[in-house]
Amino acid sequence: MRYLYYPGCSLKGTGRAYEESMLAVFQALDVLVEELPDWNCCGATAYMAVDELKAFALAARNLALAERMDTDTPPADLIAPCNACYLVLNKAQRYITENESIGNKIHTALAAGDMTYSGGVHVRHPLDILLHDIGVERIKTAVKKPLEGMRVACYYGCQIVRPYATFDDQYNPTSMNQLMWALGAETVDWPLKTRCCGGSLTGTIEELGHRLSFILVKEAINRGANIIATSCPLCHFNLECYQKQWQTRYHDDAHMAVAYFTQIMGMAFGIEEKRLGMRRLFVPPAYIAAVS
């Protein structure tokens, strides 16, 4: 299996641990992943607020690059691990192929840069690849250190299943839970698994953004979780990095390990900590010691 991989800006920055652990996990499962050369920013939420067409054009350039790359096995599957990139690339794909006037404008714009895009790329999330292409059975065989005693709150965030539920249920996604079960971990019933973490509001309107992520962590604790698994660099950042600030802000303790689901998989696969970017975490999972 060979996939193209679109990292997006965050996986080269605050979300480096996500990239490192994901690549390590794919390698452990013998899946070839090749980074899309010269990719650019996906367009993201903030861009869309200023100029939607240009946001689509940014996304379209990436899709066109991907299409150009993978001529031997079309249509190309492009992995987008960041939830926001995943949504924006998918949304652009839909609008370009389904809305004639937007499609025409984007095609003209691409032509200005000597590029074309015929609409054949599949934008996919690593959760989707792991569960549907690789499968729970294959993952189970790779587990070396079952994660007994780990009670995971699986946090999907908003933009994987909304608004386009292509590989999981829109209201009650379970793909990450299934992966966690395969690793020998338990998952907790946590009704907030797709509730918004606050996104970029944590950096702009702190009071609001922080409260949104704070209540997520708080409720995960109430539900008996001992770790939160994330699938998006921004969600991860929000849930993880402000825990200390919440103490002063809310006079309430919400302290919990937060790790990318790929890091947790890597732990179960027995991959060394360094390759999983564990040292880049604020709250190292308490079980690392117990497991390794």
Partner 1 sequence: MDFRKAKRKIKYESELDSHFAKEIVEKAGCEDLFHCIQCGTCGGACPISAYMDYTPRRIVAMTREGLKQDVLESYSIWLCASCYSCAVECPKQIKITDIMYALKQKAIEEGRYPRRFPVTVLAREFFKSVFAKGRNNEGILMTKVLLKTNPLKIFKQALLGLKLWRQGRIGLHSDVIQNRDELRKILSALD
Partner 2 sequence: MPISSENNGKIPRIGVYICHCGLNIASVVNTQQVAEFARGLPHVVIARENKFMCSDPGQDMIQDDICEHKLNRIVVASCSPLLHERTFRKTAQDAGLNPFYFQMANIREHVSWVTLDNALGTDKAKALVAAAVQRVQSHEALDSQQSPVNPAVLIVGGGIAGIFAALVIADAGRKVYLVEREPTIGGHMAMFDKTFPTLDCSACILTPKMSDVKNHPNIVLWTYSEVEEVKGYAGQFKIKVKRKPRYVKEDDCVGCMLCVEACVFKKPRFADEFNLGFSFRKPIYMPFPQATPPIVLIDPNQCIQLTKGKCKRSCMNVCEKNAIDFSMKETFEEIEVGAIILATGYQTFDPRRIPQYGYGKYEDVYTSLEMERFTNAAGPTQGKIVRRNGETPKSVGIIHCVGSRDKKNHSYCSRVCCMYSLKLAHLIKERTGAEIYNFYIDMRTPGKGYDEFYDRLLDEKIHFIRGRVAEVTDWARRPEEEGKLVLRVEDTLVGIARRIPVDMVVLSVGLEAREDADEIRRQFNISCSHDGWFTERHPKLAPVSTTTDGIFLAGTCQGPKDIPDTVAQAGAAACEALSMIDKGFVQLEPNTAHIEENRCSGCRVCIALCPFSAITPSENGLTSTVNEALCKGCGTCVAACPSGAAQQRLFTDEQIYQEIEGLLSYV
Can you give the binding site for partner 1, defined by CB under 8 A?
9-10, 12-17, 38-41, 44-54, 57-58, 60-61, 87, 95, 99, 101-102, 105, 108-115, 158-159, 162-163, 165, 170, 195-196, 198-201, 203-205, 208, 212, 241-242, 245, 279-282
Q: Which does 114 bind (CB under 5 to 8 A by kind): partner 1, partner 2, none?
A: partner 1
For residue 121, give both structure tokens.
Answer: 């790329």
For residue 162, give both structure tokens.
Answer: 């909304």
Nearer to partner 2, 33 or 212 (CB): 212
Q: Which does 198 bind (CB under 5 to 8 A by kind): partner 1, partner 2, none?
A: partner 1
Q: Which does 219 bind (CB under 5 to 8 A by kind): partner 2, partner 1, none?
A: partner 2
Minimum Å gap between C-beta 201 and partner 1 is 6
Looking at residue 36, the DSSP 8-state letter turns out to be P
* 3-state SS assignment for residue 228: strand
List C-alpha distances in Å: 195 to 91, 160, 171, 203, 227. Answer: 20, 11, 10, 18, 17
CA distance 146 to 269: 8
Number of residues that bind partner 2 (CB under 8 A): 7
Closest CA to 154 of 98, 74, 229: 229
Minimum Å gap between C-beta 29 and partner 1 is 26
Phi-psi region of 51 (alpha: psi -120 to 50; beta: other; left: phi over 0): beta
One of 171, 207, 252, 279 touching partner 2 (CB under 8 A): 171
Among the listed ranges 65-73, 106-114, 167-175, 247-255, the one in contact with partner 2 (CB under 8 A) is 167-175
Q: Which of residues 203-222 bind partner 2 (CB under 8 A)?
A: 215, 219
Closest CA to 60 of 103, 5, 4, 13: 103
Minimum Å gap between C-beta 172 and partner 2 is 6
Dihedrals φ, ψ of 219, to 5°? Answer: -70, -30
Nearer to partner 1, 137 or 207 (CB): 207
Nearer to partner 2, 37 or 191 (CB): 191
Nearer to partner 2, 39 or 156 (CB): 156
Cβ contacts of 245 within 8 Å, gap of 6 or more: 210
Longest distance between any two alpha carbons in the chain, whole Å: 58
Nearer to partner 2, 62 or 194 (CB): 194
Among the listed ranges 141-149, 166-174, 250-258, 267-275, the one in contact with partner 2 (CB under 8 A) is 166-174
Residue 192 contacts partner 2 per CB under 8 A: yes
Buried b (16+ CB within 10 A) or exposed e, 241-274: ebbeebeeeeeeebebbbbbbbbbbbbbbebeee
Nearer to partner 2, 102 or 188 (CB): 188
Residue 34 contacts partner 2 per CB under 8 A: no
CA distance 153 to 180: 10
Pairing of strands 2-5, 32-35: parallel
Minimum Å gap between C-beta 167 and partner 1 is 15
Sites of contact with partner 2 (CB under 8 A): 169, 171-172, 191-192, 215, 219
